[in-house]
Amino acid sequence: MNELLGILPVKLKESMKDNGIKAFVADQILDWVFKKSVVNFSDMQNVSKENREKLSTLYNLFPFKNVEVLESSDGLAVKGILTLEDGAKIESVILKERDYYNLCISTQCGCPVDCKFCLTGITGFKRNLKAAEIVGQILWANNYLASKKIDHRISHLVFMGMGEPLLNYDELIKSLAMIHDEQGFFISTRKVTVSTSGFIKTIRQLIEDDVKLNLAFSVGCVNRDKRIEIMPVEELNPIMDVAKVLKEYQALHNRKLTLEYTMLAGVNDTDQDIQDLIGLAKYLKAKINLINLNPHNKIPFKEISNSKLHRLKTMIQNQHVPVTIRFRKGRDISAACGQLGESRMEEANENGND
């Protein structure tokens, strides 16, 4: 059975035509899925029963066989624990901003990068997600908002959920095509940010393929010795070499670059560490996003004090580098930055693997 969300709208119309479904019906289906956020063919009221039954034998519309929803107490975050067809679980987070909704998307089930301050890495890696499973998270989120009578759809995306997006390159690119398509989710490239721990080969692939993205680079620490300890990716992808290829990418596309810096008490929070970060930001003409660690009993680090966090922010501002502190959302449901993955732990325990 074909995954409907893995087929670009123009190709989907061709596929439906080949299966004896008229063009106007294909347009109706696209409207129900991408504009009205319906996840079942049976709910498409203006489509004949015959066509609905036929479509359900040809296409799998919703790529998740079960959805569990956790809502934060402050109403600013909603975590979806999404069970895939093979029983694996991923997590996706709806984030309420001032006047729009953002979605934190996963691209892998687990993560192979093993950053020591991230719960997802601790849970290990199971597999890459297919494009339909990636964009299916947007359909889930829009369906949830509609079910709550919220007059908004997801308008911004951050690929900062479970996994390293650039290690699922082909499916990432396929999903972006669906995301940007006028008859798909039609979300502007300017409103999509892809996070990476820094893989030189795939950043070069972005250059070769002329893919324009807002990138967020997870720094960890600029000091090589410290970075290797908390981000093993440093061994094969030295941060100075990553910086050079990022600068090349920025020169070609002039897209927004953010340096994500997770604060770990006693590890990467010295004044020298921050001076090194400032130097990197100036070299790349990048904005710095300070993220105080979101603690978890499986993560062996502690957050820094708020007073120190704000002192370091002022230190960066005084060097005329743009800087923000990421506002914490969803900590009470383990939906904050670096906390995704508890469902994977539960899955392992269910399968008898600690």
DSSP assignment string, 61-96: ---EEEEEEEE-TTSSEEEEEEEETTS-EEEEEEEE
The CB density around residue 220, as the number of other CB atoms within 10 Å, is: 27
Output the CA–CA distances (angstroms, integers) from residue 262 to 6, 146, 277, 288, 304, in the order listed. 34, 34, 12, 11, 10
Single-letter residue type at 148: K
Tell me which residue has tokens 């005329």.
320
Q: Which residues contact 314 (CB under 8 A, 6 or more apart)?
A: none
Q: Which of 234, 337, 342, 347 is catalytic?
A: 337
Tokens of 255: 């897209």
At which residue do the structure tokens 């506002």 appear? 327
Catalytic residue among 3, 91, 234, 260: 91
> Which residues are within 8 A (CB) of 316 and not within 5 positions of it... i.e. 6 or more apart?
274, 277, 278, 281, 288, 290, 323
Q: For strand 89-96 and strand 2-3, is the pairing parallel, antiparallel, or unpaired? A: unpaired
What strands lie across the sheet with 323-325, from one edge to the other? 64-71, 77-84, 89-96, 101-104, 154-159, 192-196, 214-218, 257-263, 287-292, 323-325
Contacts of 82 (CB under 8 A, 6+ apart): 64, 66, 67, 89, 90, 91, 92, 136, 137, 140
Active site residue 104: no
Q: Which residue has the tokens 């908002």?
A: 145
Locate 100 and state its tokens: 């729009």
- Residue 45 corresponds to which tokens in the numbers above? 């009221």
> Annotated catalytic, 91?
yes
Query: How far is Cα 197 from Cα 9, in angstroms, rounded to an integer?
Result: 32
List residues with catalytic annotation.
91, 337
